[in-house]
Amino acid sequence: MPEARGPAGLNGEAHTRYAPGTPCWVSLMAHGLTATQEFYGELFGWEFRPGPQQLGPYARALLDGREVAGIGQLPPDRHLPVAWTPYLASDDADTTAETVRLSGGTIGVGPLDAGEAGRLAIGSDPAGAVFGIWQAADHLGTDITGVHGTPAWNELLTFESAGVVKFYETVFGYRRETAGSEDFDYVTLHLADRPVAGVHGLGDALPRDRGPHWMTYFEVGDTDEAVARVVGLGGQVLAPAHDSAHGRVATVADPEGARFALIQEPR
């Protein structure tokens, strides 16, 4: 996972408009909205206020009054995975959605207006990983990065990188940089020479109960402390904290099973 931030940089700075293709927002759809907010509020210090309701009850998470992520409620009759979904910026959600279809992906929701906030679509790549498309209006996306409780990186976990990377290159104009080897399949996606996301081909090691999916990394001040807090709040540890070239990382799940990663920058 390379060093990567949003367009405004580090240390809690606010963002301007995101360039097309940049991960600009993350959103979680869960069954128990109140309990889920309590979990992430205790874990990351988030506070919440209502957001657009086009897809049902929805709240935006804030740190120091600045928007970080969204949490919505799944309809009780929809048996969909509880998962964090990254939204990729677009200047024209309708055109991007059509390009997704023409490139072998699918569009499951939209494009539709989210009030005055912007226009969205939710689709999946040819391997089945779900992602969002966001055309900003009043809501530009995540407004702060580089501090505890903010998105730090998004990584696609899939069977193999080669075919699916071609899809994302076509739709969003990424340039690939291969960081893997014969026994490590990893590609970094770049925009204007800046890394914005990763694609990790796991082959048979991909969790069978999950399939291809995007993973959001959230920055924390202390990974071990955050992991202990996850467990204390009813979540679970999927991969214990360990040191990597990019910081101390752990993979966890919230009480409803939504997977995400925690990362502490190297000291």
Report which residue type is found at 256: E
CA separation for the pair 12, 116 (Å, rounded)? 26
Query: Could you list the pLDDT tens digit for every one of the 267 residues in the chain?
Result: 544 444 444 445 545 789 999 999 999 999 999 999 999 999 999 999 999 887 789 999 999 999 999 999 998 777 778 999 999 999 999 999 999 999 999 999 999 999 899 999 999 999 999 999 999 999 999 999 999 999 999 999 999 999 899 999 999 999 999 876 677 899 999 999 899 999 999 998 998 888 999 999 999 999 999 999 999 999 999 999 999 888 999 999 999 999 999 999 987
Q: Which residue has the tokens 């889920």?
A: 36
Q: Which residue has the tokens 């910026």?
A: 89
State the maximum Cα–Cα separation within the chain, in Å, rounded to a whole number.
48
Q: Which two tokens stand for residue 228?
A: 């202990």
Other residues' Cβ atoms within 10 Å of the Cβ of residue 138 = 10
Q: Which two tokens stand for residue 104?
A: 């072998």
- Name the E strands within the chain: 23-30, 47-50, 58-63, 66-73, 83-89, 106-113, 118-124, 130-136, 151-158, 175-178, 185-191, 194-201, 213-219, 236-244, 247-253, 259-264
Which own/partner pairs from 164-169 qualify as long-range (CB within 8 Å, at least 24 positions apart)?
164/125, 164/126, 164/127, 164/129, 164/199, 164/212, 165/189, 165/199, 167/103, 167/104, 167/105, 167/125, 167/126, 168/125, 168/199
**Terminus-to-terminus CA distance in the chain, angstroms?**
16
Torsion angle, alpha carbons of 22, 143, 50, 210, to 10: 40
Backbone angles phi, psi at 36, to 5 degrees: -65, -40
